[in-house]
Structure 1
Amino acid sequence: MTGFRAAGRAGRRTGLAGELVLLAGAVTTVAVLLTGLVAWHTVRGTAEAQERDQLARQAKVLSRVPALSALLYEGEQRIAGANGVEIAVVDAAGVVGGPAAPALGTPQRDVLLSGRTLSSTGELRGTEVLVEGIPARRGGAVVLTRPLTDVDAAAARMRRDLLLPLGAGLAGAVAAGVLLARRLARPLGHAVDVAARLAAGERGVTDADPAAAPGPAEAVELGRALGVLDAALAHGERRQRDFLLSVSHEIRTPLTSVLGYAEALADEVVPAERLPGAARVLHAEARRLDRFLADLLDLAALEADDFRLDPADTDLDALVGEAAAVWRERCTRHGVEFRIERAGRPVPARTDGFRVRQLTDCLLANALRLTPAGAPVVLAVRVRDGGAEIEVRDGGPGLTEDDLAVAFERGALHERYRGLRPVGTGLGLAIAHRLATRLDGTLTARARGPEGGAVFTLGLPTTGKP
Structure 2
Amino acid sequence: MRRGSLTVHVTLLATTVATVAVLLTGAIAWWVIRSTSEAQERDQLAAQAEVLSRTPPLAAAMLNRQERIAGPTGTMLARVRRSGEVEGPAAEVVTAPRRAALLSGERISATATLNGRHMLVEGVPTPAGGGLVLAQPMSTVDEASARMRTRLLLPLSLGLVGSALAGALLARRLARPLTSAAAVAHRLADGERGLPVGTDGPTEVAELAGALNSLDAALARSENRQRDFLLSVSHEIRTPLTTVRGYAEALADEVVTGAEVPQVGRVLTGEVERLETFVGDLLSLARLESDDFRLEVTEVDLAALLTHVAEVWQPLCTRHGVDFRTEVPDSEAPLPLRTDGFRVRQLLDGLIENALRVTPAGRPLVVALSDSTVLQVRDGGPGLTDADAAVAFERGTLTTRYRGVRPVGSGLGLAIAHRLTTRLGGTITAQGRGPEGGACFTVRLPPTPPQAQAQ
The CA distance in 1 between the partners of 2:243 and 2:187, in whole Å, is 44
Please give the per-residue CA displacement for 1:225-280, whole angstroms capped at 9, x wherever unaligned: 22222211111111111111110110011011111111121122223221111111
1:462 Cα offset (Å): 5.0
The 1:308/1:135 distance shift into structure 2, 3 A limit, reads same
Aligned to 1:69: 56
Paired amino acid for 2:341: G
Aligned to 2:428: 443
Aligned to 1:412: 397
The 1:351/1:129 distance shift into structure 2, 3 A limit, reads closer
Q: How does 1:300-379 map to 2 (within 5 A)?
A: 300-343=286-329, 344=331, 345-379=333-367
1:369 Cα offset (Å): 0.7
Is residue 13 from structure 1 mapped to residue 7 from structure 2 by the alignment? no
Conserved 8 A contact 1:347-1:462: no
Aligned to 1:22: 12
Q: Secondary structure of 1:133's partner?
A: strand
Q: Secondary structure of 1:269's partner?
A: coil
- What is the percent sequence identity of the aligned residues? 58
The 1:320/1:123 distance shift into structure 2, 3 A limit, reads closer
Is residue 157 from structure 1 mapped to residue 147 from structure 2 by the alignment? yes
Aligned to 1:456: 441
* 250-259 or 312-321: bigger deviation: 312-321
Q: Secondary structure of 2:194's partner?
A: coil
Q: Secondary structure of 2:438's partner?
A: coil
Paired amino acid for 2:111: T
Is residue 244 from structure 1 mapped to residue 227 from structure 2 by the alignment? no
Paired amino acid for 1:334: H
The CA distance in 2 between the partners of 1:412 and 1:151, in whole Å, is 90
Aligned to 1:168: 158
Aligned to 1:6: none
Please give the per-residue CA displacement for 1:56-97, whole angstroms capped at 9, x wherever unaligned: 12222333x2xx233324423223332413333323222334
1:124 Cα offset (Å): 4.2
* 99-108 or 141-150: bigger deviation: 99-108
For normalisation by structure 2, the TM-score amounts to: 0.92
Please give the per-residue CA displacement for 1:8-56, whole angstroms capped at 9, x wherever unaligned: x4xx421011111112112212222233234334433332222111111
1:389 Cα offset (Å): 2.3
* 85-94 or 13-22: bigger deviation: 85-94
Conserved 8 A contact 1:394-1:455: yes
Aligned to 2:453: none
1:98 Cα offset (Å): 3.9
1:367 Cα offset (Å): 0.8
Is residue 80 from structure 1 mapped to residue 70 from structure 2 by the alignment? no
The CA distance in 1 between the partners of 2:319 and 2:57, in whole Å, is 140
The CA distance in 1 between the partners of 2:114 and 2:423, in whole Å, is 96
The CA distance in 2 between the partners of 1:125 and 1:271, in whole Å, is 138
Aligned to 2:388: 403
Conserved 8 A contact 1:104-1:122: no
Paired amino acid for 1:412: T
Conserved 8 A contact 1:348-1:462: no
Aligned to 1:56: 46
* 439-448 or 179-188: bigger deviation: 179-188
Conserved 8 A contact 1:336-1:371: yes
Q: How does 1:375-386 map to 2 (within 5 A)?
A: 375-383=363-371
Aligned to 2:452: none
Is residue 130 from structure 1 mapped to residue 81 from structure 2 by the alignment? no
* 238-247 or 318-327: bigger deviation: 318-327
The 1:418/1:137 distance shift into structure 2, 3 A limit, reads farther
Conserved 8 A contact 2:367-2:376: yes
Conserved 8 A contact 2:251-2:257: no
The 1:75/1:415 distance shift into structure 2, 3 A limit, reads same
Paired amino acid for 2:340: D
The CA distance in 2 between the partners of 1:126 and 1:366, in whole Å, is 108
Q: Secondary structure of 1:272's partner?
A: coil
Q: Secondary structure of 2:144's partner?
A: helix
The CA distance in 2 between the partners of 1:138 and 1:177, in whole Å, is 66
The CA distance in 2 between the partners of 1:159 and 1:389, in whole Å, is 81
Q: Secondary structure of 1:445's partner?
A: strand
The CA distance in 2 between the partners of 1:458 and 1:122, in whole Å, is 93
Aligned to 1:285: 271
The CA distance in 1 between the partners of 2:51 and 2:177, in whole Å, is 67
The CA distance in 1 between the partners of 2:282 and 2:307, in whole Å, is 29
RMSD: 1.9
Q: Secondary structure of 2:109's partner?
A: strand
Q: Secondary structure of 2:373's partner?
A: strand
* 453-462 or 234-243: bigger deviation: 453-462
User: How many residues end up aligned between the 2 structures?
Assistant: 443
